[in-house]
């Protein structure tokens, strides 16, 4: 049988045959590892980058990389920046798995995360911090209580006078005799004029300050007072 030899004088890769003869390694893993070994040392490794130069998609790349990790040909380490936040992923490639993975499958879990470095950190906050959780719950309750307190209800014949429970209580306390009439007056005026006000309680108060004092009617002893020399 004829054997054709190829002169490898340019554009070729020199690599170990170890992974190619590893019977416990799938053809996909052998192919991907060979692809990785052919890349420059300064190549920016990532799942997305490998998928861009392979026919297979991201899911297949992730599964194959996991196989290489289990067999000891690949170690991925999660890096952190100066502030302790998650950064890029460092890929360490082995042509021959280090001990003890050379003779048996490596069962040690690698210190890695499967996501690309550009994905956001979705880790849950520390649940072992009761004071922090209690503070958050307290703030949430305060916000809900404030929103409930500031919730305004519709009053007046045209349903356009908006008062919160607190505003309505203040209105009743300040104008116990005619607070209903004052609400209706504001409701009718806004409906007829088309005007609106930021605070309806403040508007009613403002109108009350501009009112002229009412003339006292009916019997009063003071009406019949007179100065000396005058007569009724």
pLDDT-derived band at 27 (thresholds 50, 70, 90) equals very high
pLDDT at residue number 133: 47
Residues 37-53 have a mean pLDDT of 84
With a cut of 80, say whether residue 160 has pLDDT above it. Answer: yes
pLDDT-derived band at 105 (thresholds 50, 70, 90) equals very low
Q: Give the whole-number percent of the chain exceeding pLDDT 70.
A: 64
Cβ–Cβ < 8 Å for 106, 74: no
pLDDT-derived band at 205 (thresholds 50, 70, 90) equals very high
Angle at 92 between CA 89 and CA 97, to 5 degrees: 145
């Amino acid at each position: 049988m004829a054997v054709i030899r190829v002169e490898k004088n340019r554009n070729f890769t020199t690599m170990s045959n170890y992974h190619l003869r590893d019977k416990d390694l799938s053809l996909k893993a052998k192919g991907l590892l060979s692809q990785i070994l052919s890349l420059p040392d300064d190549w920016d490794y990532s799942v997305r980058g490998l998928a861009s130069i392979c026919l297979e998609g991201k899911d297949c790349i992730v599964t194959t990389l996991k196989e290489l990790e289990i067999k000891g040909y690949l170690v991925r380490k999660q890096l952190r920046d100066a502030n302790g936040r998650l950064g890029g992923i460092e890929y360490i490639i082995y042509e021959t798995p280090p001990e003890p993975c050379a003779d048996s499958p490596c069962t040690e879990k690698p210190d890695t995360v499967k996501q690309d470095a550009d994905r956001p950190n979705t880790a849950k906050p520390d649940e072992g911090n009761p004071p922090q959780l209690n503070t958050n719950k307290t703030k949430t309750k305060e916000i809900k209580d404030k929103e409930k307190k500031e919730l305004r209800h519709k009053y007046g014949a045209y349903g356009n006078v908006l008062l919160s429970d607190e505003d309505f209580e203040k209105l009743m306390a300040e104008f116990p005799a005619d607070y209903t009439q004052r609400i209706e007056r504001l409701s009718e005026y806004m409906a007829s004029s088309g005007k609106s006000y930021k605070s309806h309680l403040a508007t009613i108060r403002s109108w009350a300050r501009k009112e002229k004092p009412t003339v006292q009617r009916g019997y009063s002893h003071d009406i019949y007072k007179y100065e000396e020399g005058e007569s009724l």
